[in-house]
């Protein structure tokens, strides 16, 4: 497919995909590659220097930083991706229903979005988690609830823009079902916008989950999580900067990779760059 | 004294070595109109865009386009920008997307006039109104307050032509300016172009596929087919005695369309008379 | 076949804080088109031609009045006769999804009708009808010229053998040479497949060549209806002005 060919020829995209894949695989195979148990404290080895035994040193409880980093991938990255996917799905569904449906359906969904968007998202997440109780599942649910309305609005406006294009008119006149129009015409058109939005927000989700973990509302100690590691390390920032640098750089690299990848995907999906094979071969 | 002299203009696509325009040569005199005709895809628009340096970066333009001692093909940056819009204006084909949807017509016209003619804002405003009046647009002040999406395609095209005329350049390149207009408005536009030529000595390069409109305005004619120059010379001569097969085909096609209309406009009895005289 | 009865269309526009102003685009439009005939509709840009076309296609509802196709409302007729109404728009660049190849674009209405037997041969036959080479099947819209693109739209429109086709300024963006070729094609197809056309344009010469009757639309009203062979019988002032201003081409100099 042209899309994959284009991605393959984009060096930056390949680098980003490699980084993200490496991170994800490390997270999945963490039990096999981590040198130590991330949860086992060893106060004798508190703040150990970088050595063969502890490749990135240890934290204030003597736990191996590298092991915590690797196990933390599961909590931070994989969970964020799951949250992202769910938020996108819900937001897209409502956005398309509102944009395509028009009239009363549109009004209802938009008023609902207005209500949800009038709360500051952090406050809403806190409120929901506060009501449901702490825990990862509740944090995920709260993040989805806070963000879907924003996506629904963006996608609705894109749908409305595309709805009055001639090719959609033709599809309607020639008797194509609404499902066909949404699937074949609207979704590919909004895929570009969704990708960019999603990659930009991945960073936000990571930080949001970390923030809640700090408040003991999300991930409970001692479960390893990058954001929590950052917060634990901020107290000893000046004495042991390594502890802060490691999770910080990990978050930076991962989020940056997602962002750059989003750019490359957007370029690759651009239809004007489609050329039939005969032209490509020439 | 020739205003613009184009010699051996060639445009090549660097990506696949396809030649889009092959050795086009023509001249534009002041007070005159050059008509460029040919079917769509023959390279009319891209030839004129290349003179103004408005082509895509993967197109290689070679040749000579002398305007006031400068070769527009090889000149770069500021020199071309100074000429573009001030001394050579281009009225684009798709006027509906030529205006910024975020600003009113008035603000866009005033912006262009202030920059290119160094007017004060108030003068530019007055000039805009005058320009629209010349195009017989009703209630020009109201039109200036509107946004592009609130006006019809034909109205936008007339605004674009009015703006180009207000700039009073040496040459106007008009790319299919009358396509979206109905016959009444077409006549107005043609009249305005003729008037402007007489008053300001402005030269006109008129790109069109409509031979009837070109016939009204052009003294010189360039016929293009698939990037090649098929015929070039006096418009009158080419229309009466076309040399090339392709030109003859264009002329005959147009005449066939016209004759059916002419017949319909004649009462029954006159038709019989004319048919008997074999004039149709 | 098609009956438009006293149709009004208003759009509400935000005039001021205290209420919306109504802008009337169509004010009492009425006409009929008989089966197998070609009706032309001319008027200046902004006179409501596109709005009328959207109403006839059932994409929007009139504020007042009704539009009937074979004595049914447009929505019902389209449901009962799927694929029998088609349209060709002016702007060929947005008429086909830029992500579709030519083949996918032409196949779309056929797939909607679920008539997939012999799809490929049907598409090849359509290409032949509109005089397009087979090598264009895998091309994307932005790789084709205007004339070729409009032919693809035409092939797509006739693919389901419709009984009614609406042409909304379909030839206006094309050059005269291509226009005349497509006009010939339209005329042949109409006779071969016994279709009814509504041909909206602003160029009187093409309209008078192709159509049986011509309607003149001015400021939201039909001001004149003439037989296309008898245009000299125009009574209305606007119609007469329009006819008089048509630019005639003569092979001879003035």
- Neighbour order of strands in the sheet with C19-33: C19-33, C2-16, C64-69, C72-73
Is A278 part of any domain? no
Please report residues of C whose CB lies closer than 8 A to that of A165. Answer: 94
CB atoms within 10 A of CB B143: 24
* Contact between chains at A271 and C140 (C-beta distance less than 8 A): yes
| Interface contact B251, partner C, CB < 8 A | yes
Selected residue of C59, C90, C97, C158 to mutate for chain A interface (largest A Cβ count, 10 A):
C97
**Residue B213 CB-density burial (10 A; 0-12 exposed, 13-18 middle, 19+ buried):** buried
Paired tokens of B183: 């016959």
pLDDT higher than 80, residue A273? no
| Res. A282 pLDDT band, cuts 50 70 90 | very low
**Chain A positions with Cβ closer than 8 Å to C:** 165-167, 169-177, 180, 184-185, 188-189, 271-272, 274-279
- Give backbone dihedrals phi and psi of B87, rounded to 5 degrees, phi first: -110, -30
Residue with tokens 């051996």: B8
pLDDT of A38 reads: 81
Q: Specify the DSSP element, H or E, that contains B75.
A: none
User: Does C239 map to a domain?
Assistant: no
pLDDT in tens, B121-140: 888 888 888 888 877 777 88
Element (H, E) at A281: helix A277-281
Structural domain of C103: 96-162
pLDDT at A280 over 60: no
**Burial, B68: exposed, middle or buried (Cβ in 10 Å; 0-12, 13-18, 19+)?**
exposed
Nearest to C222 by CA among C209, C208, C239: C239
Chain A closest-CA separation from residue C12 CA (Å): 15
| pLDDT for position A98 | 92
Chain C CA closest to residue B158:
C45
Cβ–Cβ < 8 Å for B132, B106 = no
3-state secondary structure chain C: CEEEEEEEEEEEEEEECCEEEEEEEEEEEEEEECCCCEEEEECCCCCCHHHHHHHHHCCCCCCEEEEEECCEEHHHHHHHCCCCEEEECCCHHHHCCCCCCHHHHHHHHHHHCCCCCCHHHHHHHHHHHCCCCHHHHHCCHHHCCHHHHHHHHHHHHHCCCCCEEEEECCCCCCCHHHHHHHHHHHHHHHHHHCCEEEEEECCHHHHHHHCCEEEEEECCEEEEEEECCCHHHCCCHHHHHHHHCCCCCCCCCC
The pTM of the full predicted model, rounded to 2 decimals, is: 0.77
Q: Is residue C9 in some structural domain?
A: no
Token pair in block for residue B45? 């628009």
Task: Report CB contact under 8 Å: C98, A175.
Answer: no
On the question of pLDDT at C7 being above 70, the answer is yes
- Structural tokens at position A238: 């000046």
Residue A252: inside a domain: yes
pLDDT for the residue numbered C218:
85
Residue A10 — pLDDT band, cuts 50, 70, 90?
A: confident
Residue C64 lies in a domain: no
DSSP-assigned letters across all residues of B178-224: TTTS-HHHHHHHHHHHHHHHHHH--EEEEE-S-HHHHHHH-SEEEEE
In a domain, A279, yes or no: no
Chain A residues with CB-CB distance to C59 below 8 A: 169, 172-173
Range B104-125 burial, b when 16+ CB lie within 10 A, else e: bbbbbbbebbbebeebeeeebb
How far is B213 from B200, CA to CA, in rounded Å? 21
Tokens representing B71 are 């070769």
Asked whether the beta carbons of residue C206 and residue B249 sit closer than 8 angstroms, the reply is: no
C70 pLDDT above the threshold of 50: yes
Is A280 a member of any domain?
Answer: no
Residue A271 binned pLDDT confidence (cut-offs 50, 70, 90): low
The pLDDT score that the predictor gives to residue A95 is 92
Task: Considering only the beta carbons, identify the residue of A167, A175, A180 that sits closest to C96.
Answer: A167
* Helix, strand or coil, per DSSP, at residue B233: strand
- C203 CB near a chain B CB, below 8 Å? yes
Lookup result for tokens 């090549």:
B12
Report the domain count for chain A.
1
Chain A hits for C58, CB-CB cut-off 8 Å, are 173
* Mean pLDDT computed over A150-175: 88
Q: Do B155 and C46 touch (CB under 8 A)?
A: yes
- C160·A174 Cβ contact <8 A: yes
Q: Which residues of C touch A170 (CB under 8 A)?
A: 87, 89, 95, 109, 156
- Cβ distance B101 to B148 under 8 Å? yes
Query: A274, C99: Cβ pair inside 8 Å?
Result: yes
Q: Is residue C119 part of a domain?
A: yes
With vertex at residue B235, the alpha carbon angle to CA B232 and CA B239, rounded to the nearest 5 degrees, is 100
- Which residues neighbour C8 within 8 Å (Cβ) at sequence distance 6 or greater? C24, C26, C27, C28, C29, C62, C63, C64, C65
Mean pLDDT, range B257-267, rounded to an integer: 79
> What is the C-alpha to C-alpha distance for residues B223 and B228, in angstroms, rounded to an integer?
9
Q: Which residues of B touch C243 (CB under 8 A)?
A: 265
CB contact under 8 A, C59 and A173: yes
- Average pLDDT rounded to a whole number, residues A251-272: 80
If phi > 0 it is left, if psi is from -120 to 50 it is alpha, else beta; for residue B192 that is alpha
pLDDT digits (tens, 9 = 90+) for C183-207: 888 888 888 888 899 999 888 888 8
The answer to whether residues A84 and A143 touch, using CB atoms and an 8 Å cutoff, is no
**What chains are in contact with A, requiring at least 3 Cβ pairs below 8 Å?**
C
Is residue C124 in some structural domain? yes
- Is pLDDT of C15 > 90? no
Average per-residue pLDDT in chain B? Answer: 83
Question: If we measure between CA atoms, which residue out of A277, A171, B95, A3 comes closest to residue C94?
Answer: A171
For A17-35, what is the mean pLDDT?
Answer: 88
CB B222 within 8 A of CB B36: yes
Contact A167 C113 (CB under 8 A): no
Question: For residue range A184-207, what is the model confidence (pLDDT) as tens digits?
Answer: 888 888 887 788 778 777 877 877
Helix, strand or coil, per DSSP, at residue A124: helix
Cross-strand partners of C226:
C214
Contacts of A279 in chain C (CB under 8 A): 143
The sign of the CA dihedral A209, A212, A216, A218 is negative
Answer yes or no: is A45 within a domain.
no
Residue A34 pLDDT level (bands cut at 50, 70, 90): confident
Task: Name subunits touching C (3+ CB pairs < 8 A).
Answer: A, B
Residue A46 lies in a domain: no
Strand partners, C27: C8
Distance separating the N- and C-terminal Cα atoms of chain C: 45
What was the pLDDT predicted at B138?
Answer: 77
Looking at residue A152, what is its pLDDT?
92
Q: Tell me the average pLDDT across A5-17.
A: 85
Contact B257 C173 (CB under 8 A): no
Q: Give the total number of structural domains in chain C.
A: 1
pLDDT band at C250; cut points 50, 70, 90: low
pLDDT score recorded for residue B273? 65
Domain membership of residue A262 (yes or no) is yes
Q: Cα(first)–Cα(last) distance of chain B, in Å?
A: 42
Beta sheet of B203-207, edge-to-edge order: B70-71, B59-67, B4-13, B18-28, B228-234, B220-225, B33-37, B203-207, B171-175, B88-91
Residues of chain B with Cβ-Cβ distance to C180 below 8 Å are 253, 256-257
Asked if C178 is an interface residue toward chain B (Cβ–Cβ < 8 A), one would say yes
Query: Is B225 an 8 Å CB contact of chain C?
Result: no
Q: Which domain holds residue A126?
A: 2-37+54-273
Q: For residue range B176-191, what is the model confidence (pLDDT) as tens digits? A: 888 777 788 788 788 8
Indicate which CATH number applies to the domain containing A245: 1.10.3720.10
Greatest alpha-carbon pair distance for chain A in Å reads 76
Whether the bond into A222 is cis, omega within 30 of 0? yes
Position A116 in a domain: yes
Q: Measured between beta carbons, which residues in chain B are less than 8 angstroms from residue C44?
A: 154, 182, 184-185
The more confidently predicted of residues C177 and A116 is A116
**Best of C140, C150, C158, C167 to disrupt the A interface by mutation (most A CBs within 10 Å)?**
C140
């Amino acid at each position: 497919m042209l899309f994959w060919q284009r991605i393959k020829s984009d060096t930056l995209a390949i680098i980003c995909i490699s980084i993200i894949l490496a991170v994800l695989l490390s997270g999945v195979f963490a039990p096999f590659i981590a040198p130590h148990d991330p949860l086992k404290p060893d106060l004798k080895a508190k703040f150990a220097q970088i050595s063969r035994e502890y490749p990135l040193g240890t934290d204030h409880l003597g736990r191996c930083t590298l092991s915590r980093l690797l196990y933390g991938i599961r909590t931070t990255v994989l969970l964020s991706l799951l949250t992202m996917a769910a938020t996108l799905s819900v937001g897209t569904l409502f956005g398309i229903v509102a944009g395509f449906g028009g009239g009363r359906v549109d009004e209802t969904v938009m008023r609902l979005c207005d209500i949800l968007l009038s709360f500051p998202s952090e406050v809403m997440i806190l409120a929901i988690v506060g009501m449901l109780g702490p825990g990862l599942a509740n944090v995920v649910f709260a993040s989805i609830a806070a963000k879907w309305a924003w996506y629904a609005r963006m996608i609705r406006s894109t749908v409305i823009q595309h709805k009055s294009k001639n090719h959609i008119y033709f599809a309607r006149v020639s008797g194509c079902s609404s499902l066909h129009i949404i699937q074949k015409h609207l979704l590919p058109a909004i895929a570009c916008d969704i990708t960019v939005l999603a990659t930009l927000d991945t960073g936000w989700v990571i930080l949001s989950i970390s923030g809640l973990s700090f408040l003991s509302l999300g991930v409970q100690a001692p479960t390893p999580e990058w954001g929590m590691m950052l917060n634990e390390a901020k107290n000893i920032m000046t004495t042991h900067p390594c502890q802060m640098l490691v999770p910080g750089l990990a978050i930076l690299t991962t989020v940056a990779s997602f962002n750059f990848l989003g750019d490359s995907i957007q370029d690759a999906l651009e239809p004007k760059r489609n050329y039939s094979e005969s032209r490509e071969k020439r | 004294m020739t205003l613009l002299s184009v010699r051996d203009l060639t445009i090549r696509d660097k990506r696949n070595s396809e030649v889009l325009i092959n050795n086009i040569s023509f001249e534009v005199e002041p007070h005159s109109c050059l008509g460029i005709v040919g079917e769509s895809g023959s390279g009319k628009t891209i030839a004129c865009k290349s003179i103004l340096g408005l082509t895509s970066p993967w197109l290689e333009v070679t040749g000579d386009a002398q305007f006031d001692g400068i070769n527009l093909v090889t000149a770069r940056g500021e020199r071309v920008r100074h000429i573009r819009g001030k001394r050579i204006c281009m009225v684009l084909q798709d006027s509906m997307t030529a205006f910024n949807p975020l600003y009113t017509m008035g603000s866009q016209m005033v912006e262009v006039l202030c920059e290119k003619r160094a007017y004060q804002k108030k003068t530019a405003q007055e000039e805009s109104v005058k320009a629209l009046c010349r195009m017989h647009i009703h209630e020009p002040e109201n039109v200036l307050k509107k946004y592009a999406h609130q006006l019809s395609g034909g109205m936008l095209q007339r605004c674009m032509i009015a703006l180009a005329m207000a700039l009073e350049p040496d040459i106007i390149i008009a790319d299919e300016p009358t396509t979206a207009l109905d016959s009444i408005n077409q006549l107005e536009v043609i009249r305005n172009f003729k008037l402007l030529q007489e008053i300001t000595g402005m030269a006109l390069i008129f790109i069109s596929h409509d031979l009837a409109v070109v016939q009204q305005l052009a003294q010189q004619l360039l016929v293009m087919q698939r990037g090649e120059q098929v015929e070039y010379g006096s418009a009158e001569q080419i229309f009466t005695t076309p040399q090339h097969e392709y030109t003859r085909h264009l002329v005959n096609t147009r005449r066939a369309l016209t004759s059916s209309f002419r017949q319909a406009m004649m009462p029954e009895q006159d038709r019989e008379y004319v048919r008997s005289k074999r004039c149709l | 076949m098609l009956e438009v009865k006293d149709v009004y269309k208003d759009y509400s526009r935000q005039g001021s804080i205290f209420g919306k102003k109504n802008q009337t685009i169509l004010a009492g439009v009425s006409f009929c088109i008989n089966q197998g005939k070609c009706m032309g509709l001319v008027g200046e840009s902004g006179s409501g031609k596109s709005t009328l076309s959207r109403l006839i296609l059932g994409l929007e509802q009139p504020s007042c009045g009704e539009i009937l196709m074979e004595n049914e409302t447009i929505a019902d007729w389209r449901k009962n006769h799927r694929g029998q109404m088609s349209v060709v728009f002016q702007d060929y660049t947005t008429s086909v999804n830029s992500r579709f190849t030519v083949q996918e674009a032409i196949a779309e209405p056929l797939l909607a009708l679920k008539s997939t037997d012999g799809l490929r041969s049907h598409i090849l036959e359509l290409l032949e009808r509109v005089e397009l080479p087979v090598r264009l099947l895998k091309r994307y819209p932005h790789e084709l010229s205007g004339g070729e693109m409009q032919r693809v739209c035409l092939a797509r429109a006739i693919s389901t053998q419709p009984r009614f086709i609406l042409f909304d300024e379909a030839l206006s963006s094309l050059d005269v040479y291509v226009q005349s070729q497509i006009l010939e094609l339209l005329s042949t197809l109409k006779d071969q497949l016994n279709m009814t056309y509504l041909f909206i344009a602003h160029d009187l010469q093409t309209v008078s060549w192709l159509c049986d009757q011509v309607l003149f639309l001015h400021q939201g009203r039909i001001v004149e209806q003439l037989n296309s062979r008898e245009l000299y019988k125009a009574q209305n002032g606007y119609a007469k002005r329009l006819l008089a201003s048509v630019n005639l081409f003569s092979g001879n100099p003035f």
